[in-house]
Amino acid sequence: MNLFENHFHVAELFGREHTESTQLFLENSVCFKVSYMAANLTILESAFEENGRGFCLVDFEIGQGKQFVNLPHALKARDIALPPSFTLKLITVAENGRDEMVIAVGEMLVHQAESSIIDLLLIDSVEAIFVD
């Protein structure tokens, strides 16, 4: 398929049906949950191999952010002293009109991080990059 001849909008690919089915998988499938946990552990391993001061994630379909809920728990489970300046920055790419959803997910993730690791993990910013 030639992308230039057969272009489509991201909204067509990631519509409401896709979002709902992904959330159903996450809520009802143990394998799906374990895959997110494995992805989070891989992210942590890569981050600490690089510099240990923090890392940045880019998510092209943040949905409801449930894929990152286990990340603070995995970080806390490492049981290591993190530098005071440790930062997790999450950047999400969202369609126009979804900025309120991105902000709500960001607030939920900040609350999750604060409640699980208090001051050790700071989700520094959730930014919406709009795609036409």
Residue 3 has pLDDT above 60, yes or no: no
The pLDDT of residue 8: 56
The more confidently predicted of residues 66 and 27 is: 27
Determine the length of the chain. 132
Angle at 67 between CA 53 and CA 24, to 5 degrees: 180
The pLDDT of residue 103: 74
Residue 126 has pLDDT above 50, yes or no: no
Query: Is residue 58 within 8 Å of 99, Cβ to Cβ?
Result: no
Residue 19 has pLDDT above 60, yes or no: yes
The pLDDT of residue 70: 73
List pLDDT tens digits, range 4-14. 565 555 556 66
Q: State whether the Cα torsion 93-98-99-101 is positive or negative.
A: negative
The pLDDT of residue 129: 40
List pLDDT tens digits, range 57-112. 766 666 667 677 777 777 777 666 666 666 667 777 666 666 677 777 777 777 77
What is the per-residue DSSP string for 24-56?
HHHHH-HHHHHHHHHHHHHHHHHHHHHTSSEEE
The more confidently predicted of residues 24 and 5 is: 24
The pLDDT of residue 94: 62
Residue with the two structure tokens 């992805």: 39
**Residue of 54, 58, 78, 77 whose CA lies nearest to 68:** 58
Residue 52 has pLDDT above 70, yes or no: no
